[in-house]
Structure 1
């Protein structure tokens, strides 16, 4: 009797489990970003344009979607965005040191996106997500350059940093092209308030290589642009842009 009741309970639960599997899952991915960089850095209202090196960077992410009402889905993404560069400066003050002559900069701008979002609608052809991105960064900018001391020129260094969260509005959408395995998607993160003016946008296309009940795997190709404009936060000012094409892989369990 107990076994029959257990079997009946399992059979009754199967439709609900199937529905939960349809709406719940884990997404993991990685992108290689051919990043071009340009920007100004400084202390307070004094900034200096640096010629920044263009480099390849990586972005990795993990997202968990679930069917629990009112509880947002969660996506964590780590972004490599460190860069360095050179400038010939004149009376450039950074970290209480005034530089004159050749100067190099090392900007550690790697950060983590903590994205909480809701699926507004989700069907086989299109979906739309909206939410909040808490972009957490532990930014450090270091300058090494020539400093005039009397009649001599010596090398000095200074560093400014900012550790904190930049809250941004988040939105993402995808449009599936029926019968092709291709889809077009886009994502936007933005804030324009007080000392923070920043955005992080990307648009791309992906193609499903594997599509079965156990796993989906897709390759991605797209373009991404990031703008960071932090105005004198903890004595650090950043006005920089990073953009370029990327290629990636996403897996859905």
Structure 2
């Protein structure tokens, strides 16, 4: 693509975002309760080393998870706004019969896997549109994982109990978008938030739903309900290969100062 066209498009985007920037410094804090159904697999090692082996299936249960966030919006031109969101994501499953290597341990018999995909989102974004009818934020994010993949079970002919884990502590660069369409005067709106992995294309984090905004003197309150889908399909990420999905309904509250 012609460099002049790219520069022109970038300047236009920044100009629009500057025009739509907040007129005063603002803060948003919020939290969601998310009822997740987890499913997926992780790959064993092909031998006592770390090469990829066969996928292991477990029956994961449902669990209530949570997210909390803080966003800072300001009127400084060209400087992006900041949002930090902490996401708690854990799943566990068991099976009666196992026969695989993981982290240099040969598991046999019954085993339980604990998959912690908790993460923190660091988002830089511009307000492209911001009015009572349509709001649009675009930017980039870095999803820092801080979980682990642990297997508890038995090993050897004597079925000795053992446990081993690998930390999942790498990060994913992601594209970010957030859109909101409202009904002026009623406080009702529909929303969608999207995060797409750029260096890990099998990672995404979607949510969509409905909300109601109640305007106050010192702060505004938003109540939201919707559906969220987090997919984590990676190969050799923090020495793990897995394809996990967390999805389900959520409800939350956001306060705008």
The structure with more radius of gyration? 1
Look up the match of 1:45: 52
RMSD of aligned residue pairs (Cα, Å): 1.8
Q: Distance in 2 between matches of 1:190 and 1:41?
A: 21
Q: 1:154 aligns with which of 160, 178, 190?
A: 160
Q: 2:227 aligns with which of 212, 223, 241?
A: 223
Instruction: Give 1:227 deviation, angstroms.
Output: 0.2
Residue 33 of structure 2 is aligned to residue 32 of structure 1: yes
Instruction: Give 1:69 deviation, angstroms.
Output: 1.0
Query: Mind listing any 5+ residue stretches in structure 1 that lack a counterpart?
Result: 1-18
Q: 1:74 aligns with which of 70, 75, 82?
A: 82
Q: How does 1:197-216 map to 2 (within 5 A)?
A: 197-208=202-213, 210-216=214-220
Look up the match of 1:120: 128
- Check whether the contact 1:35–1:243 (CA below 8 A) recurs between aligned residues: yes
Instruction: Give 1:105 deviation, angstroms.
Output: 1.0
Q: Distance in 2 between matches of 1:87 and 1:66?
A: 52
Q: Distance in 2 between matches of 1:27 and 1:174?
A: 16
Look up the match of 1:172: 178
Q: Distance in 1 between matches of 2:24 and 2:192?
A: 20
Q: 2:140 aligns with which of 132, 135, 138?
A: 132
| Deviations 1:68-126, CA, capped at 9 Å, x for gaps | 11111000000010121112444211101121221101122211000111111212211
Look up the match of 2:250: 246
- Give secondary structure in 1 for the equivalent of 2:204: strand
Greater percentage in strand:
1
> How many pairs are equivalent?
231
Look up the match of 2:187: 181
- Give secondary structure in 1 for the equivalent of 2:75: coil
Segments of 4+ in structure 1 off by > 3 A? 19-24
* 1:144 to 1:227, Cα distance in 2 relative to 1, 3 A: same
Instruction: Give 1:216 deviation, angstroms.
Output: 0.5
Q: Distance in 1 between matches of 2:29 and 2:100?
A: 44
- Give secondary structure in 1 for the equivalent of 2:69: strand
Q: 2:115 aligns with which of 107, 110, 113?
A: 107
Instruction: Give 1:213 deviation, angstroms.
Output: 4.4
Query: Mind listing any 5+ residue stretches in structure 2 that lack a counterpart?
Result: 1-19, 46-50
Look up the match of 2:9: none
- Give secondary structure in 2 for the equivalent of 1:69: coil
Q: Distance in 1 between matches of 2:231 and 2:96?
A: 24
| Deviations 1:142-179, CA, capped at 9 Å, x for gaps | 10112233xx2222221112312111110000001123
